[in-house]
Structure 1
Amino acid sequence: MRENDDLSLFREIVKDVKPLEQNVFVPERKNLKKKLAIKEIREKEDTLFFFSDEYEPLLNEESAVKYLREGEDSYLLKQLRRGDFSPELFLDLHGLKKQEAKIELASLIQACEKEHICCASVMTGYGTFTLKRQVPRWLVQHPRVRALHQAPREWGGDAAILMLLDV
């Protein structure tokens, strides 16, 4: 009996209410694409922010290139050296100028973050040794890089660098 009273009371209250007209709004797709492109450019610029040419880390350049972020387990370097990690993305910097290589390196780190890839390989080659010396200096500045080591022979040897990322 109480339900009928509640229902009749409800109908009494809402009798003068007009129903809302349902309109369908379809947003334009081109603005979304433009916003995504702008977001991607900003992310790349944010990653490039970490790569300073003036920074001189304490890397022993006479032996194999290696770096371990503070607080990480030193066993990671041994695993990288032995080839326990298989790189899922490869970046070949042969023939690129310094600025182009910096942009490609930023794109690689960004792609690793998007795809949740923790190990990547960067082929620096020999050439004039400019990129071979500069790439590790850039990588140690990025907060996502946990460790890096000269690649084992099967992943490029001393012409490549394996890096572990925090993704």
Structure 2
Amino acid sequence: MSFDEKYLGDDFLSAMSDVTPLGPNDKVNTTHAQKSLAQQLRRKALEQQLNKANNFLSVEITHLVAPDEIIGFKQDGVQEGVYKNLRLGKYPIDDVLNLQQGSFEKSRQLLFDRIRLNQEKGIRCMLIKHGRGEQSKPIAGYLKSAVNQWLVQLPQVIAFHSAQLHHGGNASVYALLKKSEQHKMHNRELHRKK
């Protein structure tokens, strides 16, 4: 009895008797067709549509704030010293988002996209310019009220507060973002005990 017959069995060998091994040049050639501009544009439009569909920020504003009101929020677990430094504008501003002069829906989508992108990139503090909205119709301070509500709804935002005068005062807000998982791991490695 040969090695093959002993370990593989007669049934397998008889089933495989007509199989021929592949030669050295038996390769399957595939070509990657270049996508046309129309296909690329269609894909981009679908991605934007999907992103809009995933935007969970509310379109109905339930709590209105006055145009000159100071707004702020911090999640449970954020230290008072961290929140105080944010209020005082002591963190370096890594990104500025200007929502003034934009439509409500455009501002909603832009804020949603930018917060997610900034958190993924590891940006910790950003300045959001929403304006006071003293002349906005039909309600004064409507966009400011919307930003106040939206920032609370975003899990990436751990705290926000109206900015200092040199950064726009109560027409702007500082937003402090959670660390990304990559930055958390980096900090763990940096500060682990040896």
Q: Aligned-pair RMSD on alpha carbons? A: 3.0
Counterpart in 2 of 1:164? 176
Q: 2:159 aligns with which of 137, 142, 147?
A: 147
Counterparts of 1:91-102 in structure 2 under 5 Å?
A: 91-102=97-108
Cα gap change, 1:61 to 1:154, in 2 (>3 Å): closer
Cα gap change, 1:43 to 1:110, in 2 (>3 Å): farther
Contact 1:44 1:110 in 2 (8 A): no
Following superposition, the deviation at residue 65 of structure 1 comes to 0.9
Counterparts of 1:46-65 in structure 2 under 5 Å?
A: 46=54, 48-49=55-56, 51-54=57-60, 56=62, 64-65=70-71
Contact 1:65 1:136 in 2 (8 A): yes
Between structure 1 and structure 2, the one with the greater Rg is: 2
Q: 1:134 aligns with which of 122, 142, 146?
A: 146
Q: Does 1:118 align with 2:124?
A: yes
Q: Does 1:24 align with 2:18?
A: no
Q: Which runs of 5+ in 2 are unaligned?
A: 1-19, 181-194
CA distance in structure 1 between the aligned counterparts of 2:35 and 2:69, rounded to whole angstroms: 52
Q: Does 1:67 align with 2:73?
A: yes
Q: Which runs of 5+ in 1 are unaligned?
A: 1-15
Q: Does 1:80 align with 2:86?
A: yes
Count residues with an aligned counterpart.
150
**CA deviation map 1:34-74 (0-9, x unaligned):** 6566445434532x21x1144647x8998521100122222
- Identity rate, percent: 24
Following superposition, the deviation at residue 130 of structure 1 comes to 1.2
Q: 1:42 aligns with which of 32, 46, 50?
A: 50
Contact 1:118 1:165 in 2 (8 A): yes
**CA deviation map 1:14-51 (0-9, x unaligned):** xx6332512332333438956566445434532x21x1
CA distance in structure 2 between the aligned counterparts of 1:101 and 1:141, rounded to whole angstroms: 15
Partner amino acid, structure 2, of 1:124: H
